Structure 1
Amino acid sequence: MKIRTQITLLFTLITVSILLLFAAIIYFSAKENREQEFYTVLKKEAETKANLFFKAQVDSRTLQNIYKNNRITINEVEVAIYNTSFQLLYHDAVSIDFVKETKEMINTIEKKGETQFYQKDWQVVGLRYSFEGKNYIVTAAAYDEYGYSKLNNLLRNSLLVLFLSILFIFMAGWIFSKKVFKPVKEMTDKVNNISATNLYSRLNTKNNKDEISELGNTFNGMLDRLENSFDAQKNFVSNISHELRTPLSAIISELELAIDKEQDNEAYKKAIKSSLNDAKKIVRLSNSLLDLAKASYDPSEIAFKVIRIDEVLLDAKHQVQQANTDYKIDLHFEHDIDNENQISINGNEYLLKVAFANLFENGCKFSRDKECIAYISFDNNEVLLQFKDKGIGISANDLHNIFTPFYRGENKQFADGNGIGLSLTKKIVLLHKGKITIVSKPNTGTTFSLDLPNLL
């Protein structure tokens, strides 16, 4: 069932329930009022007949004739008068005697002074009447035909109005829900036309502040992220293709040249060495891409454990120096370590070693003296690391894009690279809920600062 139909039915049900409640209150109030008003009429009629019988000394035949004459045109009240010994003194119509008084009834009326009750649809009033120091029992009974007729008319009219109200409310609810959901339908039609080829399309929210506009703005935000993701993916594939095609083309060219003509051993060695360097570039690119993929995993899928930062730094240092024997890397501790939790974090050892190795390699690669120094300190909440070099530095234009995947700045002519290392390092730091910043001046040096939460 569509939400529009559900809202219409719910709106109708709630409104009809309220109307039904009001109708029930009105009906039962009218019923109660009719009953009490008719009891009052019976009581007055009983007292009037008793006054005529006892005080005015109107004879019984005259009173009975009045009753019979009135009964032809109206529902006359039937009155009976008894003494306390259950002796009948007067009755409007003994032959009818609808009430059928009993000794127990008379005793009850005398004891209570006044009673009201029903006999079928007839209402009956019994009351104690005093005259010249003696007590008498007077009963009055009648059928309220006029009152019941009005009550039935009220019930019938209420049901008719209720039925018409249901139809009207349902139609109004249907039209109202259609108007309310019109923006949703427009959004649905618009979204159905959005695909990977036209992610630039956006929903028209009309700058309103209602919930529909918030939904549209949220969806537009999602489309912005999707569009950026698609663009990044296209650029990513394009960059990878370029990075792979260049060394592969060089390898193929070198090998074809070596095969096409006879050369001396030195030329063959040169061709093999060049091809080997290009193959190593491809291997480094593949490893970087694998590490980038690992750093992009859901954090819940990456194994974290307690590790010491100094040990990971030492491993990264040995790894970089083993691959590049001319690189000089030093570690400086700026504080004495009293508690190993001061330099311990909850992290992934492999990924952190990749990040530190990238920073070491980056510092040495772009320094003429091939040197990078890591400074280790800590405070009550974080491990603070600084990777400093005295290299060629980074221009102000490149600093804004230095963490963008595959971005190569103005210094790309100084050393080889694929533009993945620093973007991978930032992903790893963010994955560990840390922060990375960079300060650099051309021809002066570069400092990368890392803040990682420790176990204190």
Structure 2
Amino acid sequence: MTLRTRLTAWYAGVFLIAGVALIGLNYFLLAEWLRPATAGIAVARAPLPLGSTDALLVTQLPADTLVVPAEQIESDILGRLLWQSVIALVIAAILAVWLGWVVAGRVLAPLHEITTTANRLEAERLDQRIELEGPPDELKELADTFDGMLDRLASSFDSQKRFVANASHELRTPLAVQRTLIEVALADPGASDEMRRLGAHLLDTNERSEKLIDGLLLLARSDRGLATRELMWLDEIIDDEVESCTSLAASKEVTFDVSVRPYLVEGDPVLMAQLVGNLLRNAVLYNKPGGTVSVRLDRELVVSNTGPTVPAEAVPGLFEPFRRLRDRTGTAGSGLGLSIVQSVARAHQGSVKARPNGGGGLVVQVNLPETGVRQPS
């Protein structure tokens, strides 16, 4: 039972109690007034002789005269009053229920506004505020307290995101210097084979670190939301990313099976390309030789592969940063792929879900809002 229904029931209940008490009081007062007023009085229900306003004996009345005792008069009056009052109370109770429902809705309207704002909020979208207008009552105080809490949360999240972005930027510079020094050392004709093997290993480690930092930068950027939006064709982005992954797929002996339709979305093209690219690279890297990557775009983007079996209970953890399956840790990924996909999708008011693919592999479904712009024929 909703709060509005309970408030309406309380309003109607209080009204009924007050109405019953009022009817009882009226009944009691009228009964007290009727008893002395009708004591010793009888009413004749027939025409009396002219001038017979004085007390008459029963023997002096006409033969067809009906004499009603005072007790019956009192009973008739009180009975009629009771039934009329009950009918009036029922009608008034129906009106009270309707008015109570309307008043409860007006009273609870600020709470609905607070609830609606809270439902729109996410860690990535803390820019919504209630800003309730009205007198300084308890609901206004609650809304202002909620807005103040959101201000503190937004400040905390922004500080954390700035720290990640700044730290990632600061780390990229020494990594770039290290890569340059290693490449210069390897370019020396007098470098020994052992030094070259060590240099190649260091370059590989350096490349992994750079990819990790780039992933952190992208994750921080998408978590802050979209500063600007533009229209873009998702199917064209998919075609471009499939082409860029062709060499990687060939080295892993993986083939693409692509079926897309024109699909117009609004957002950041760079972030959207990163979303699609991460899905495709993950599907290739975590695949088996001779496997396939299926890409479907109709009402949603679905990317599936034929890799190793993925336990259903492990799927939710794949969307957390640096979480990978135990048998996947030998790949070149940094563990940020699906985290970035989820973050970018949320920044575009979309959603991501995944499930194990029958026979092995993973199926990732991305729902992105399609614009209302007319599609080309």
Structure with higher Rg: it is 1
Give the TM-score of the pair, scaled to structure 1: 0.41
Choose between structure 1 and 2: higher strand proportion: 1
User: Comparing both chains, which one has the higher relative contact order based on Cα–Cα distances under 8 Å and sequence gaps of 6 or more?
Assistant: 2
Q: TM-score, normalised by structure 2?
A: 0.48
